[in-house]
Amino acid sequence: MSFLSINCDKQFLYVIIYWIFEITFVLLKHFIEPYFIIIKNDKAKNEYMLVLLSNLGDLLSGFLILYTNHASKSIRENVSKEKLVYNNPIKLNFYEEAEPDLKQNFYKKMLIISIVNYISRSLYWISYAFYSLSVYEPEKIATFLGQDMLITIDIIIRYVISIFILKSVIYRHSIFSIIMIDSGVIILLMSDFLLVRYSPVNKKMGATMLYSGILLIRAFTTPYEHMLIKQLFDENHILPASIQFIRGLISTLILLVMTPIFLVSFCLNSKINFENSLGLIVTMIFYILKNFITSYVRLKIIYHFSIQSISFLYISVSLGGSIVKVYDYINAKNKTGIYFFLVFLEIFGNLIILFSTLVYDEVIIINKCGLHENVKLEIIERGERDTIRTINNLDNDSLLDIKSE
């Protein structure tokens, strides 16, 4: 038996798509940053525009619902014709697109999900709004540290929710994964804190922590939102696209109420200077599509796996940031060995977290030290072996009975 084995199905394709979009977005945002500035000289207003674009991305799932219903209708029509030809009295429930019997608290939970989602997305512009009151310049923020702190705390909160609220069963490979994730988090954050000190670009720890303070609330709100979504999937058997579209509709109502308040509070005494370029329009369209796809993939992963499975999606953002740092190091005038070592350490910490989350979700199976004994694949195979052994024993007993006669 090999030391490691891989257990992934076609659903893992969504993970690859997510990684491609997120890493591409991180790289493009670094290399062509001016195209990602919608409103000039005001990061808070710019981030609020991204909240609006994110919501438009959710609303695009309505087209996915229409396509799914059209495809299902075609299948049902074909099945109905076959039933008429063969006079088949069997009722094929699989093809019948009856509306799911929604629980009474469905829309109540959807309202909470939408509000929490709006808060999570708004924390970026809120952070910049509070930050604008400080004496620091925005360029002094080490955003990579704030982002990595957000990702790592988010991952830890997901496992806490999974174990203590959703009552997930913990096996030996789960304990091993959690220990390894903690080790990866320590390595990642330690290297990030030191990178602020040794970065070729001057960054300030005070500015970074001021920016990150409010942003870290997202590490609690997003896992909570995903927990509620998982509960809706389990209770109502509704599809991810439907959740995304309903969330988009409710968030639109929230935005219609909150946007005038935002405009009065932040735009009454100042101009909104939009960028004027064709490239910006293309970037806005790309951002809407990117958000639609990545949000849909997150919902698909929650639907097919669990809320902690989102962890190996989020690591793509941190790894994309590491690629940017390697590029900056290669092109830096003042190169230091300590900076390169810290970037390497950051990548190493990310890889440990990625590997550990895949072990926890049984995508990677370690076939040593009993870490494979209680994974689903091993349980299924063990059950099949026991069944075959039982059948063989029954056959042998039958042969003995015949011989004795």
Rounded to the nearest 5°, which phi and psi values hold at 4?
-125, 145
Considering 79-88, 96-105, 118-127, 195-204, the range whose residues carry the highest mean pLDDT is: 118-127
- H or E segment to which residue 366 belongs: strand 364-366
Task: Say yes or no to pLDDT of 137 above 80.
Answer: no
- Which has more pLDDT, 70 or 94? 70
| Rounded percentage of the chain residues whose pLDDT exceeds 90 | 39
- Range with the lowest mean pLDDT among 195-209, 305-319, 357-371? 195-209
Read off the amino acid at residue 172. Answer: R
From 77-81, 201-205, 351-355, the region with the lowest mean pLDDT: 77-81
From residue 124, alpha-carbon distances to 192, 241, 286, 297, 394 in Å are 20, 25, 20, 22, 66
- Of residues 91 and 151, the one with the higher pLDDT is 151
5 phi/psi in degrees, rounded to 5: -140, 150
Q: For residue 46, what pLDDT is reported?
A: 87
- Judge whether residue 25 has pLDDT over 60: yes
**Residue-wise DSSP of 271-317:** ---B---HHHHHHHHHHHHHHHHHHHHHHHHHHHS-GGGGHHHHHHH
Q: Picking from 15-29, 164-178, 272-286, 296-310, which range would have the lowest pLDDT averaged per residue? A: 272-286
- In sequence order, the 6+-apart residues with CB closer than 8 A to the CB of 219 are 149, 150, 153, 154, 157
What pLDDT, in 10s, does the model give residues 306-319?
898 898 899 999 99
Model confidence band, residue 92 (pLDDT cutoffs 50, 70, 90):
very low
253-294 pLDDT per residue, tens:
999 999 999 888 877 666 676 666 667 788 889 889 999 999
pLDDT of residue 61: 95
Cα 313 to Cα 9, 90, 168, 383: the distances in Å are 16, 42, 20, 32
Kindly state the tokens that stand for 183: 């080790």
Q: For residue 54, what are the CA distances in angstroms to 131, 134, 255, 317?
A: 23, 28, 12, 17
Residue 100 has pLDDT above 80, yes or no: no
In this structure, what token pair is assigned to residue 384? Answer: 């099949």
Reported as type and span, the H/E element at residue 364 is: strand 364-366
* 96, pLDDT greater than 90: no
Joined together, the tokens standing for residue 366 give 């370690």
pLDDT in tens, 373-383: 777 765 555 45
H helices of 102-204, in order, are 106-131, 143-164, 172-198
Report residue 235 as tokens: 């209770």
Over the stretch 38-87, which tens digit does the pLDDT of each residue have?
887 788 888 999 999 999 999 999 999 998 887 776 666 665 555 554 44
Share of the chain above pLDDT 70, in %: 80
Q: Is pLDDT at 208 greater than 60 in this prediction? A: yes
Asked if pLDDT for residue 344 goes beyond 80, the answer is: yes
